[in-house]
């Protein structure tokens, strides 16, 4: 990996360069603040090729400390994380995730778990009944807690010059993942996370996002704004995907392909029933 990929943008043009990359040339108006934290956030890329060299001692524990520093609803801390090290287990997870080989390649693979089992064990030990446990709201709290924690870990990793990519495809078969990792009833893997040093062969770039005009609403929601911004964004993403990925596509095409058929959900259309079988009834 070239040194330039690890270096934080500095100098008077740093903000503009970072925003230009993030928005594909559509830079939000105004000067705005700028610091190293913003630089780390705006340079985020999903990396799918890793150097297998192990990470420095203590990296995992520091990433977990960063994760545990994230916000958590009512301090419920309704998440856990499994660092998967066994190559055969990694191979199974890669298979569940439709053959994503970087799960096997990266030096650190984490599975984030929406975990209400800990709370159930507390209730059992105390002889109490948790009437609010088996509800959709409580599962959402656990899933969001896991996401907040993981994003803190991502920012921490990238601040150290490491690269990451989320693996949502573990939800293709949450029951198989739960059995493999011996997750207790009342818990489910919500996504995985690859962490490591980007391989020299990688060509991952900063993928453009929708213009702020499509997502930032002031005072009330303006549905016409995203449709007005769509043609320009389609063009920007088509340029990026044509240069960086296996084929060129627009965001419109991506939405229609990803959500157009149940087959594209890769088994996740049965997620609710699977979660219930794992002890997470969504009432």
Q: What is the pLDDT of residue 143?
A: 98
What pLDDT was estimated at residue 8? 60
Per-residue confidence (pLDDT) for residue 59, from 0 to 100: 98
pLDDT given at position 32: 84
Degrees to nearest 5, angle at CA 103 with 198 and 86: 115
Answer whether 113's CB lies under 8 Å from 188's CB: yes
For 172-190, what is each residue's pLDDT tens digit?
A: 999 999 999 999 999 999 9
Which positions of the chain have pLDDT values less than 50? 1-4
Residue 31 has a pLDDT of: 78
SS3 labels along the chain: CCHHHCCCCCCCCHHHHHHHHHHCCCCCCCCCCCCHHHHHHHCCCECCCEECCCCCCCHHHHHHHHHHCCCCHHHCCCEEEEECCCHHHHHHHHHHCCCCCHHHHCCEEEEEEEECHHHHHHHHHHCCCCCCCCCHHHHHHHHHHHHHHHHHHHHHHHHCCCEEEEEHHHHHHHHHHHHHHCCCCCEEEEEEEEEEEECCCCCCCCCCCCCHHHHCCCCCCCCHHHHHHHHHHHHHHHHHHHHHCCCCCCHHHHHHHHHCCHHHHCCHHHHHHHHHHCCCCCC
């Amino acid at each position: 990996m070239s040194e330039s990929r690890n270096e934080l943008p500095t100098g008077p043009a740093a903000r503009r360069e970072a925003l230009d990359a993030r928005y594909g040339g559509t830079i939000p108006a105004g000067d705005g603040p700028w610091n190293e934290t913003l630089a780390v956030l705006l340079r985020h890329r999903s990396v799918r090729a890793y150097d297998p060299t192990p990470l420095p001692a203590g990296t995992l524990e520091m990433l977990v400390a960063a994760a545990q520093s994230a916000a958590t609803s009512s301090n419920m801390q309704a998440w856990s994380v499994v660092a998967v090290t066994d190559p055969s287990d990694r191979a199974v997870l890669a298979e569940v995730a439709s053959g994503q080989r970087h799960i096997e390649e990266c030096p650190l693979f984490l599975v984030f778990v929406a975990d209400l089992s800990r709370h159930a064990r507390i209730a059992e030990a105390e002889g109490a009944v948790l009437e609010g446990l088996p509800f959709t709201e409580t599962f959402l709290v656990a899933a969001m807690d896991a996401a907040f924690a993981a994003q803190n870990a991502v920012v921490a990793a990238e601040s150290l010059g490491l690269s990451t990519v989320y693996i949502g495809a573990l939800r293709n078969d949450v029951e198989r993942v739960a059995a493999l990792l011996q997750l207790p009833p009342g818990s489910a893997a919500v996504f995985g996370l690859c962490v490591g040093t980007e391989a020299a062969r990688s060509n991952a770039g900063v993928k453009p996002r929708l213009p702020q005009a499509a997502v930032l609403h002031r005072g009330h929601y303006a549905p016409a704004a995203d449709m007005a911004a769509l043609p320009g964004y389609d063009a920007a993403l088509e340029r990026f995907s044509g240069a960086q990925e296996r084929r060129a596509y627009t965001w419109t095409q991506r939405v229609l392909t990803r959500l157009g058929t149940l087959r594209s959900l890769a088994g996740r259309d049965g997620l609710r029933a699977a979660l219930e079988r794992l002890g997470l009834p969504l009432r």
